[in-house]
């Protein structure tokens, strides 16, 4: 900001005019700022000359002094402007007030000498008066010279020529001077090289530190990534274990449900089989003659009498198919008869079953005239699958459960067959309780 000279303008102008007026006793005036503002005020004025004015300068302020002195050469009045910047003033204030010097010089016009001072040594009266004497431009001390200058002093010495004898020491000094500057240049070059080397070393050191820091950061980053990967893997394993346990629980639950359903089905089937078995047992109990006895008699070669004809097999739980003649027929294979016995014996048939006359068969051949056909397996013979469960009445019969296999079947009768049960026991069983496989 510019300096403000209008606020205290009348006082400033009056003090300046008193100093420049040769008739006035006031020969110096001192100006300064009002606090930290840019407003100039009159600090002090007096008639004691430079010595008195210097005593008023303050080392903690910026001040402008205007003083009237007498030229030591001509005796004429001269004016001195002193720009005082104390050593205790802060740098910011110094920089701001440096622009005010020209404004103050325009206000305090007519100064012959301008002094920029910062310390007491710069404002010593002798120093200032010497500057004033040099600035006068003329030396008026000729009247002080004695008249002896113009008196004849006798003969003078011989006039010398322009020739000078060569001085070896002087030449050596000149050579040493050249060598000195060459040496100085070399030292300067070495100093620059040393500074460049130090700068390179510092740069390499910083680069190495940066690389080491990057390596450490990369190692820490890799370690964190590995730890995170391990955590993820553990989480996956834990999830897989949980999934496997859940599947195992589901499987066990499903197996339990299957077992319960199978047990329920088996219970239902066994109940049905029990009902069928009870029905079959009731039918068997109504037979007049046990077919087991009849087969035993046939094996012994005894023809059964009319009263010993076996009754029909127990009724099957399923409906029986209708035959062509609407009646059930029982065909029996005749036992082997000796060659001399060719007579045919017919017995009255009081039962509804029709018995065909016996005919002579070839030796060791038994012929079955049943309508049911089955395929024999080479190892187990004719096989059948149980449709219902059956419990043996005695040791001549076999027991079985549904879906069990009876092997080595002999179709000795339309209602009763013989074969090997699941436990390996050989005996008779109802034919309508199984189906051929």
Provide the greatest CA pair distance for the chain: 216
**Model-level pTM?**
0.35
Closest residue by Cα to residue 401 from 421, 386, 383: 386
Q: Is 419 exposed, middle or buried (0-12, 13-18, 19+ CB in 10 A)?
A: buried
3-state secondary structure (DSSP) of residue 103? helix
Q: How far apart are CA 437 and CA 349, in angstroms?
A: 35
Q: Are 69 and 21 in contact, with CB atoms under 8 Å apart? A: no
Q: What are phi and psi of 335, to 5 degrees?
A: -70, 165
- Distances from the Cα of 72 to the Cα of 24, 66, 127, angstroms: 20, 18, 13
> What pLDDT does 408 receive?
92
Q: pLDDT in tens for each of the 437 residues of the chain?
A: 688 888 888 999 999 999 998 888 899 999 999 888 889 999 999 988 888 888 888 888 899 999 999 888 888 889 999 999 888 888 888 888 888 888 888 898 888 889 988 888 888 888 888 888 888 765 555 444 444 454 445 555 555 556 666 666 666 666 666 677 788 888 999 999 999 999 999 999 999 999 999 999 999 999 999 999 999 999 999 999 999 999 999 999 999 999 999 888 888 877 776 776 677 666 666 655 555 666 666 666 644 444 344 444 454 444 343 433 333 333 334 333 333 333 333 333 433 333 343 344 433 433 333 333 444 445 678 999 999 999 998 989 999 999 999 999 999 888 899 999 999 999 999 999 999 98
Instruction: Calculate the CA 6 to chain-centre distance.
Output: 73
> What pLDDT does 362 receive?
39
């Amino acid at each position: 900001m510019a300096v403000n000279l209008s606020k205290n303008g009348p006082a400033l102008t009056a003090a300046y005019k008193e100093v420049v007026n040769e008739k006035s006793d006031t020969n110096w005036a001192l100006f300064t700022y009002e606090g930290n503002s840019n407003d100039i005020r009159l600090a002090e004025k007096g008639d004691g000359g430079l010595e008195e004015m210097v005593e008023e300068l303050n080392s903690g302020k910026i001040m402008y002094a205007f003083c009237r002195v007498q030229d030591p050469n001509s005796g004429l009045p001269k004016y001195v402007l002193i720009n005082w910047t104390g050593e205790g003033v802060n740098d910011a204030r110094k920089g701001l007030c440096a622009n005010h010097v020209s404004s103050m010089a325009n206000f305090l016009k007519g100064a012959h000498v301008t002094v920029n001072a910062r310390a007491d040594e710069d404002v010593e009266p002798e120093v200032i008066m010497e500057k004033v004497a040099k600035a006068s431009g003329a030396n008026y001390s000729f009247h002080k010279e004695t008249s002896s200058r113009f008196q004849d002093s006798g003969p003078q010495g011989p006039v010398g020529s322009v020739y000078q004898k060569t001085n070896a020491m002087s030449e050596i000094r000149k050579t040493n001077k050249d060598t000195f500057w060459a040496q100085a240049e070399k030292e300067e070059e070495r100093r620059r090289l040393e500074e460049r080397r130090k700068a390179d070393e510092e740069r390499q050191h910083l680069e190495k530190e940066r690389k080491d820091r990057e390596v450490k950061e990369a190692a820490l980053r890799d370690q964190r990534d590995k730890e995170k990967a391990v955590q993820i893997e553990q989480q996956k394993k834990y999830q897989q274990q949980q999934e496997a346990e859940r599947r195992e629980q589901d499987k066990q639950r499903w197996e339990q449900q299957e077992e319960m359903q199978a047990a329920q089905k088996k219970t239902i089937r066994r109940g049905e089989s029990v009902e069928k078995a009870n029905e079959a047992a009731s039918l068997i109990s109504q037979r007049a003659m046990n077919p087991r006895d009849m087969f035993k008699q046939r094996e012994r070669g005894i023809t059964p009498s009319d009263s010993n004809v076996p009754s029909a097999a127990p009724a099957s739980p399923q409906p029986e198919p209708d035959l062509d003649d609407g009646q059930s027929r029982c065909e029996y294979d005749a036992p082997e008869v000796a060659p001399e016995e060719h007579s045919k014996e017919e017995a009255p048939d009081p039962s509804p079953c029709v018995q065909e006359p016996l005919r002579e068969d070839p030796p060791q051949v038994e012929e079955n005239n049943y309508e049911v056909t089955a395929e024999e397996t080479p190892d187990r013979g004719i096989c059948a699958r149980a449709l219902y469960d059956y419990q043996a009445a005695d040791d001549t019969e076999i027991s079985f459960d549904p879906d069990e296999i009876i092997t080595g079947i002999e179709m000795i009768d339309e209602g009763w067959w013989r074969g090997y049960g699941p436990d390996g026991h050989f005996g008779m069983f109802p034919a309508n309780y199984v189906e051929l496989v």
